[in-house]
Amino acid sequence: MLSRAENERLTRIGPGTEMGGLLRQYWHPFLFPDELPPDGPPLRVRLLGEDLIAFRTGAGTVGLLGANCPHRGASLFFGRNEEGGLRCVYHGWKFEASGNCVDMPNEPAESNFKHKIRHLAYPCVEHGGMVWAYMGAGDSVPPLPELEVTLVPPAQRWLSKRVQYSNWVQAMEGEIDQSHNSFLHTMLNPDDDLSPRNGVARIRAVDTAPQFKIQETDYGVLIGSGRKAGEGLRYWRLTQWLYPYHTMTGPYGENPMRTWRCWVPIDDQNTLVMGANFHPLRPLLESERGGQNLVKGGFRIRGNVFYIEPEDRAPATSAPFGAWRPKATLENDFFIDRAVQRTKTYSGIPEFWAQDAGVQLSMGRINDRTIEHLGTTDLGIIAARRALLHAAQDLRERGAVPATVHHPELYRVRGAAVLIPEEVSWIESTHEHRKVLAGVNHAGV
């Protein structure tokens, strides 16, 4: 349980807020490169509570500008992307990706007014198949995080994204909550689960109350979830939570595909969920990409479980991330099927991602954590909240930032899953499993 003041500090991320200050120390992925063709139309973007406009010049430079022209406030969404800059259609002021005003055709030729105007602009780079923005103040731009998903060749990763209509923290917390996997995502009969995680489904069905262990790290929190697996064994699934919102869960099977997700705040009440399937050693199989149904019978687990098929997306609009909004919402009850809920699946909600989103949105756009009653299986969530609050406070009071801001190599970690004797240390036995090692891909369970 948090106090009301702590919950406000944790969830509010706009300019001038404590958590917003922490988040602005980091790079944020928000677009795929093909969403911004050279000299193509600008896109509306909203990140960390700020309205912005993204565009790409003919030379390939990505710009991210304040949404409104500094002259009279007209939206630059209507602007002309031409000859290396974005020109406001109201009076013709033109801005480079850097924010410099390079032309004022409504001013006299001898005027030097354009040299006095610099528009809000955030640097952007392409990295790992995504466009990232840095929204911090000053000229000191930190290095990009060395996440494994961004370092493998393009054929070895498959990226997706979607909008979720809730605060970023409650969306992210679902990923580090392993106890819900015995309930929300399950088949009523484990034998009906035909996915690669079938064996784990049986373990989760028998032991619904995992033992949680945590270890604070330089990069965030390592969260271990251990379940009894019979014959003196315990199944440990290890989740990595990395500042400020990256998550990696344990894999399944031999030479496994791996996953990464991050939970980028659009504003206080909406989240951009970026995700990936990737393999450290080989190109992905078609079944490991989006659009593949791995389980039948009223329960759709796709190759990327957080991917939304084009036909399952709402009609695209020009609103920020308007092409990535799902049809399934709280207003249509995420298409819950009560007959399926009675006979086949625990939730009755057909899509995997929607099962998480449905319960998270039902908490309200910003969950009131003052009325929670947390238990032993919430230790990971408690630790991540504490780390964020402490880091934001340290930044405000001492100007100190987490080590991950300046040490991108700290992101070179993996989630893990092992089956080990109950008396064996979960953390010592997974030491190598949690490292990014060239040419090595440890098995999951």
CB atoms under 10 Å from CB of 190, counted, come to: 16
Q: What is the pLDDT of residues 57-70, one digit of tens each?
A: 999 999 999 999 99
Nearest C-alpha neighbor of 177 from the set 394, 367, 24, 411 = 367
Residues in the chain: 445
Percent of the chain's residues with pLDDT above 70: 95
11 inside domain: no
Nearest C-alpha neighbor of 352 from the set 427, 273, 418, 281 = 273
CB atoms under 10 Å from CB of 139, counted, come to: 5
φ/ψ bin of 48: left (φ > 0), alpha (ψ from -120 to 50), beta (otherwise)? left
The last residue of a domain, from among 77, 104, 134: 134
Could you tell me if 173 and 87 lie in one domain?
A: no
CB atoms under 10 Å from CB of 259, counted, come to: 21
Residue 306 has a pLDDT of 66
**Can you spell out the DSSP letters for 250-290?**
---SSS--EEEEEEEEEETTEEEEEEEEE-SSSPPPGGGST
For residues 212 and 223, is the Cβ–Cβ distance under 8 A? yes
Could you tell me if 44 and 163 lie in one domain?
A: no
Q: How far apart are CA 148 and CA 137, in angstroms?
A: 27
What is the rounded average pLDDT of the residues 83-108?
Answer: 97
Q: How far apart are CA 260 and CA 348, in angstroms?
A: 26
- Minimum mean pLDDT among 138-142, 174-178, 401-405: which range? 138-142
**Edge-to-edge strand ranges of the sheet holding 124-127:** 27-31, 130-134, 124-127
Pick the residue with more confidence: 1 or 46? 46
426 inside domain: no
52 inside domain: yes
Confidence (pTM): 0.95
The two three-digit tokens of residue 165, written as one number:
């209509």
53 inside domain: yes
- Beta strand pairing call for 157-164 and 270-278: antiparallel
Residue 161 has a pLDDT of 95
Residue type, 54: A
Could you tell me if 69 and 168 lie in one domain?
A: no
157 inside domain: yes
State the pLDDT confidence band at 297, using cuts at 50, 70 and 90.
very low
Could you tell me if 287 and 311 lie in one domain?
A: yes
| H or E element that contains 202 | helix 198-206
Cα atoms in the Cβ-side hemisphere of radius 13 Å centred on 237: 23
Q: Is the pLDDT assigned to residue 213 strictly greater than 70?
A: yes
Could you tell me if 127 and 189 lie in one domain?
A: no
Could you tell me if 267 and 304 lie in one domain?
A: yes
Residue 196 has a pLDDT of 59
58 inside domain: yes
Could you tell me if 254 and 337 lie in one domain?
A: yes
Torsion over CA: 317, 320, 323, 327 (sign): negative
Residue type, 24: R
Q: What is the pLDDT of residues 156-206, one digit of tens each?
A: 999 999 999 999 999 999 999 999 999 999 988 877 765 657 689 899 999
Could you tell me if 180 and 58 lie in one domain?
A: no
Could you tell me if 205 and 162 lie in one domain?
A: yes
Residue 123 has a pLDDT of 97
Percent of the chain's residues with pLDDT above 90: 89
Quote the mean pLDDT of the chain. Answer: 94
The two three-digit tokens of residue 339, written as one number:
């007959």
The two three-digit tokens of residue 317, written as one number:
């609009």
Q: What is the pLDDT of residues 217-242, one digit of tens each?
A: 999 999 999 999 999 999 999 999 99
9 inside domain: no
CATH number, domain with residue 34: 2.102.10.10
**Can you spell out the DSSP letters for 169-219?**
HHHHHHHT-GGGGGTTT-BSSGGG--STTHHHHHHHHH--S-EEEEEE-SS
The two three-digit tokens of residue 203, written as one number:
């373990």
The last residue of a domain, from among 134, 161, 180: 134
Domain ranges, residue 46: 27-134
CATH number, domain with residue 152: 3.90.380
State the pLDDT confidence band at 115, using cuts at 50, 70 and 90.
very high
The last residue of a domain, from among 73, 103, 134: 134
The SS3 call for residue 101 is strand
Could you tell me if 167 and 313 lie in one domain?
A: yes
For residues 277 and 204, is the Cβ–Cβ distance under 8 A? no
Could you tell me if 348 and 236 lie in one domain?
A: yes
Residue 301 has a pLDDT of 47
Q: Domain tally for the chain? A: 2
Nearest C-alpha neighbor of 85 from the set 66, 104, 63 = 63
Residue type, 282: R
Residue 98 has a pLDDT of 97
Q: How far apart are CA 101 and CA 130, in angstroms?
A: 27
What is the rounded average pLDDT of the residues 318-341?
Answer: 96
Cα atoms in the Cβ-side hemisphere of radius 13 Å centred on 339: 2
Q: How far apart are CA 305 and CA 74, in angstroms?
A: 40
Could you tell me if 180 and 313 lie in one domain?
A: yes
- Cis, bond preceding 402 (omega within 30 deg of 0): no
Chain centre to alpha carbon of residue 336 = 25
410 inside domain: yes
Residue 389 has a pLDDT of 98
